[in-house]
Amino acid sequence: MAQKETLSSLTHGNFAKELSIADGKMPPNAVDFEKLIIGTFLIDKKGLDHSIDLLTPEVFYDPRHQVIFSTILKLYEGNHPVDLMTVIQDLKKEDKLSQAGGDHYIIDLTMGVSSSAHIEYHVRVILEKYILRSLINVSANVIDSSYKESTDVFELLDKAEQSFFEITNGTIKKGFDTANSLVKQAIDTIKSLKDKEGLSGVPSGFRDVDKETGGWQNSDLIIIAARPAMGKTAFLLSMARNIAVGHKIPMALFSLEMASVQLITRMIASETRISSEKLRKGTLDDEEWQRLFSNVSELENAPLYIDETPSLSIFDFRAKCRRLVMQHGVRLIMVDYLQLMTAGGGGKGTGNREQEISMISRSLKAIAKELNVPVIALSQLSRSVETRPGKRPQLSDLRESGAIEQDADIVSFIFRPEYYKITVWDNDEEGQETSTENQAELIIAKHRNGATADVRLSFLKHFAKFGDVEAAFDGGNGGFGQNEPSGFDKIKTTIQPGAAFDLPNSSQVSGSSMNDFDDDDDFPF
């Protein structure tokens, strides 16, 4: 609804203003095609069924056609017959017949139509004209607002870019969906999942996680939270590798703290089992050099886009995401991490910290919905976790704002008992005692469209890498076996070979500073 209001405010100026901006020229239109379309709808139900969902009343340039189409749409949605007589009768009942040009005009519309053979082409023509008029009106309103001293430049940029994005992506549609069309969409989606093993969203690459979620769903906001040293960034990078490499799905990662080359270096260290210390110093033996260059040479084309802008504002984030979706077809967005973002344009804050985090959280959800992609954001937890006997996090531990829990579709926690010297799992079935060594748990504490669950994952702290439990030591895909590690045999990225060594010395390379702790305290790099 917000998108629709934003677009409407920028595209529907008064008619006189539209003409003046266009230097006296007639706005783009195809009235003759509009007549053919309306006439077809009145005499051919097949043409109506094929094209009515592509149109809204404002697509028509002639005001008479807008009134007639509104009546046709109302009758169609009410499952009433749509023909010459029913439309005229309804217009009379609503006292709008004169606005529609009278009954003679409506009858004339049907005279030049023989069939609906070319209805889709006719609809495409008037849609193109409508898009041109929309571009003119958006531009006119941006120009007008730019001259006003009271205009907030960042707000204007955001609204303008959102309007152009909607126009470019053909999202200027009616503001509602019928139950009929939604049921058909749902059935088509269910059918399409038949051969996808239940994955309806973007797969995380972790079998048991995907089993619980069905993949990360479009328009969802997913929060992954944990205390320092639990491996938040490591989990994000492991998942990014699975998505961009294993499934070749374009994705974006916004790192507000670590440099992009540092992130890539961590991925290299994770996949090659070469320590970050050696990568920083270049002290590799011959076999490690061969392994490194073999892997890095295949990194260059991965559909992975990393942005390292610090203190990124939600305005800039939204703009960057729109461009990534439009230009590169990005299907998933990650943020490391939420508390480092700023709410206002140009880095300005808005109110106290809790209000600012609430705005950022709401904005992330709005962006996910607008772009129709999953947005995954890391978050930090309060210190209350440390005072709890079992150290197991819960929803009340989300730091600084309850709005995060409210806005998120999925809230999950990373929990590694081994870090707290807890040697066996506390939630095993009765009679079982499983060691926590090299294991972690993804606790799905909130799942708006599914059940909550605790998912066990394998984790090797020496390589900061997550994987499926069964694959942990078999040397297979995603595992940590003694054979040559998998992963970078297929990975692609945008860095140049050798760029991984363009790093500061070890004393200058920082990990995460969540809660003023080093996120890598438990890692060897």
Helices H / strands E in the chain, number of each: 18, 9
**HEC sequence for 56-120:** CHHHCCCHHHHHHHHHHHHHHHCCCCCCHHHHHHHHHHCCCCCCCCHHHHHHHHHHCCCCCCCHH
Residue 78 CB contacts under 8 Å (≥ 6 apart), including other chains: none
Q: Which of 262, 264, 258 is nearest to 310 (CA)?
A: 258
Query: What residue ranges in 236-380 does DSSP mark as E strands?
Result: 251-255, 304-307, 332-336, 375-380
Cα separation, 509 vs 249, whole angstroms: 30
120-140 in b/e form (b: 16+ CB < 10 A) is eebbebbbebbbebbbbbbbb
Cα separation, 219 vs 201, whole angstroms: 10
Cα separation, 139 vs 359, whole angstroms: 28
Around Cβ 49, how many Cβ atoms within 10 Å? Answer: 12
Cα separation, 7 vs 172, whole angstroms: 8
Q: Which of 34, 166, 257, 271 is catalytic?
A: 257
Cα separation, 49 vs 38, whole angstroms: 13
Q: Rounded to the nearest 5 degrees, what angle is found at the Cα of 349, between the Cα atoms of 352 and 403?
A: 55
DSSP SS3 for 285: coil
Whole-angstrom CA distances from 166 to 7, 20, 195, 320 are 8, 25, 32, 15
| Helix (H) / strand (E) containing 412 | strand 410-415
Residue reference for tokens 């193109």: 128
- 120 in catalytic set: no
Instruction: Tell me how far the alpha carbon of residue 96 is from its chain's centroid.
Output: 43
- Side chain identity, residue 489: D
DSSP SS3 for 463: coil
The DSSP 8-state label assigned to residue 242 in this structure reads: I
Cα separation, 334 vs 376, whole angstroms: 5
Active-site annotation, residues: 257
